[in-house]
Amino acid sequence: MAGKKSIDIKASFIAVSVVILFFALVMIFAYENQQPKVMLPLDSTFNATTIFITHGNTTTKYGAYLALTQSQQQQGYMNQSSLGDCKGINPCIGMLFVFNNSYNLCFWMKNTELPLTQAWVAQNGTITYVAQAQPYSTNSICAAGSMVLETSNNQALSVGDKIKIS
């Protein structure tokens, strides 16, 4: 009997230890996910440039952040509360993601609180597709292009408009 009690005590100790360890890991995971994601200000992470958008016969000058590196393209407007000021190039239209070639490019809005208009741009500068992206959505929006312009939802961009980087 003494041997059986010893085994029962050891088994109970192991079971309780496993349960405590499980809850500790759950708490650590929950704590890490509640920590605010601190992103650097847009001006310290991205360069800005002047772009020109032609809609019909009207060409308008804007400032835009450039997302050129993979790291910048992955960050985009995640955890940002505004479009920024494009390092003083006004008006600031948003962020232009520039890729080396034309691809089927997919974008989502994970950790992005701003509603955005996304415009896919061909290598010749013509907007080929425009989508309205919803905050925090993990649904991918995909289209072919060599650039994607993200801007506020109140910006009127249309298929056929032209974008030129100065």
CATH class of 42-165: mainly beta
Place of tokens 């479009």: 83
Q: What is the pTM of this model?
A: 0.75
Tell me the pLDDT tens digit for each residue of 35-79: 444 455 777 889 999 999 999 999 999 999 999 999 999 999 999
Divide the 166 residues of the chain into consecutive groups of 10 and give the mean pLDDT of each group: 62 62 54 49 86 96 95 93 90 95 93 95 97 95 97 90 95
Is residue 137 classed as helix, strand or coil in its secondary structure? coil
Within 46-154, residue ranges assigned H as helices are 70-75
- The answer to whether the CB of 115 falls within 8 A of the CB of 132 is yes
Tokens, residue 143: 């289209």
pLDDT of residue 34: 47
